[in-house]
Chains A and B, each alone.
Chain A
């Protein structure tokens, strides 16, 4: 695709798409929350602490922690669909 100046847009046709974020819940009371461990060292301690806080302070019914293969790789489709079926809210750990 040419720009208005006659130069080609190097990103044209590269498949840009907008993906709407999942709707955010207004509260977590009674919900099942999934926490995705990204495998970074001691991340599981942070997630366990977070899970406990969610139960105690926000009335979360149950916390499900799953661990992906490697922190630098996307979670496998199987884990994503498993969490999608099992939990109502999922939080993915980032960084480390």
Chain B
């Protein structure tokens, strides 16, 4: 094969990839991928903004294949894309924003376990095919069908490594609580995807605390950076509590709801502090969906303006650490729903 027809080089030269080689979509391979669904290949899932390319079951399958998915991952990719195209998720803004956020998928339910979406040790990173390729398939569609390419339709300053993939499960085997989906009223056997626009995780280590109050103080501190949009607009936030930290809270009698509530109460800063740096603007504070007094130095500004914006999960391996993903300012609301397997 010459350089001109090298299949890997061909897709990279066409800008049909994320910068890494893709599995070349041939008729035979696409037919294999489509075995992962009973849906009509010509069924339209939606248009991906801002270029408004049409995603069909077939084109989703092509991208899943390119990303390295197995056919059994296809239902998750189809379900995730449909969710992300909901108006409240605001994919148009997500694609164009200066910010460096990505749609993080948290997949709950028996099908995620069956196909091996990983929520334990190392779940935000490499080594897990389902996590790596399902998120990558979504990204490839945002690039190829949506045109969200830096310098073209994306004004992102830094982007984020989460734009290669952003897909994980919860670590229910080691969680003392029910899943995020169950906490929202789904059944434990429902297959549910939650998507929230977030930055890469920052880690909160605490191998010192022996009771929840001190532990949650530290985690709350990781939620309130001056330059975080959570302090300056209504934004989502994902807190992936390591099982060890969750066990400490649970052992002290705290339910998931109690931890959620306490983090909403603790995570915030006073106006006096926020004025000293970051994105503080009086008019931004006046636009909050909650009443605050930006002229009162002692007024407490919470990182979480509405409790439903905090997505608390138990994930990761055993160890004294919790991951906090800050959100985006641009009017995206997290979405969740069941998907067809």
Contacts and interface: CB of A to CB of B under 8 A. Distances in A.
A10 B59 contact: yes
Given A70-B331, A72-B92, A72-B97, A15 B62 contact: no
B26 A6 contact: yes
Interface string A15-43: 11000000000000000000000000110
B330 A14 contact: no
B312 to A, nearest CB: 26
A11 B96 contact: no
A81 B302 CA distance: 39
B270 interface: no
Contact of A5 (B10, B16, B52, B331): B10
B26 A14 contact: no
Given A7-B24, A41-B281, A72 B330 contact: yes
A72 B62 CA distance: 29
B52 A15 contact: yes
A72 B47 contact: no
Interface in B58-83: 59, 62-63, 66
Contacts, number: 72
A14 B53 contact: yes
Contact of B145 (A5, A8, A14, A70): A14
B92 A14 contact: no
Contacts of B51: 14
B144 A11 contact: yes
A3 B16 CA distance: 13
Contact of B330 (A5, A8, A71, A74): A71
B330 A11 contact: no
Interface residues of B, number: 37
B90 A73 contact: yes
A78 interface: no
B27 interface: yes
Given A41-B281, A70-B331, A71-B330, A11 B90 contact: no
A14 B30 contact: no
B7 A5 contact: yes
A8 B25 contact: yes
A14 B7 contact: no
B56 interface: yes
B90 A10 contact: no
B187 interface: no
A69 to B, nearest CB: 8
Nearest to B87: A73
B25 A7 contact: yes
Given A5-B10, A15-B52, A10 B93 contact: no
B98 to A, nearest CB: 8
A73 B331 contact: yes
A30 B322 CA distance: 62
Interface string B23-40: 011110010000000000
Most B CB contacts (10 A, CB to CB) among A14, A16, A41 go to A14
B283 A13 contact: no
A73 B92 contact: yes
A41 B283 CA distance: 7
A6 to B, nearest CB: 7
Given A72-B92, A72-B330, A15 B53 contact: yes
18 contacts: A3-B10, A9-B16, A10-B25, A10-B66, A11-B144, A11-B145, A12-B59, A13-B56, A14-B55, A14-B145, A15-B47, A15-B52, A16-B53, A41-B283, A70-B93, A71-B93, A72-B92, A72-B93
Interface of B: 5, 7, 10-11, 16, 24-27, 30, 47, 51-56, 59, 62-63, 66, 90, 92-94, 96-97, 140, 144-145, 155, 281, 283-284, 330-332
Given A10-B66, A13-B59, A95-B155, 10 more contacts: A6-B26, A8-B30, A11-B16, A13-B56, A14-B51, A41-B281, A41-B283, A71-B93, A72-B94, A72-B330
